[in-house]
Structure 1
Amino acid sequence: MKKIILTLCMLPLLIWIQGCSPATYEIEGYTASSMNPDIPVPTNAKLIENITYSDDPNLKKGVKYELKHIGSEQGLYPPMDYFQKLADTGWVELEEKRLGHVHFLKKDNTVIAIEIREDSFQITEMMEDAAF
């Protein structure tokens, strides 16, 4: 009888703990970005918008993607496996230039900024002589 009562008491606790665990994102593979084929993006990321920057001399073009929980809660934790994929394809992070959620990466003469949020990320290509 005690085991049954204990089990019934523990069940709500286990359900509550499961409900409070952080949600995670899942990358199902990679494809080329619609902005630049040299930039891999998760295949299950949904393109939200293409962005043009006619009013900013440092920014060339950008794209915004939605991928649930990519930046963890409040976008505080960058997706390390995605950044590893970028590194594997030749992108080098300019760690000294990082600004909070914004990571700068360089490959050849191209510099991009990736801004990670909780459920989305934005990739922006910088002008060649951009000051950042």
Structure 2
Amino acid sequence: MTADDQSLGRPGLIAPTTPARIVVGQDLAGMLEAFVSRLAPRLFALVEITPERRKDPVVAWGLQFDDQVHVVSCDGQLRGSFSSPDRALWLFSYRGTEVRLVWCTPADRRHHHPPRRRTIRRSR
């Protein structure tokens, strides 16, 4: 794309035709990772406790933000926003079964998922 400013007698300006690459170094990547981990919502599960062992006792997954909680049942039939995880726990205990709230810690996530290799591409 070229734009000429004939009134000022300047040559045309040429806009770049390819997007600029942003190169992220290891220091910036680490800082962003730490920043995001502090802002990330907390993950929790609502687990049904029954006398018989079920294959999947988790009835719902939730995310706790600073001011609200979002929960989705495992079958996708029930979703809700709550003021606290305890309010969500109360709702999912409506069937008369015992339901417990279990927090997923970062150590738990590392146990279930292998660590990812971080690759940083440099522009040529």
TM-score normalised per structure 1 = 0.25
TM-score normalised per structure 2 = 0.26
Which one has the largest radius of gyration?
2
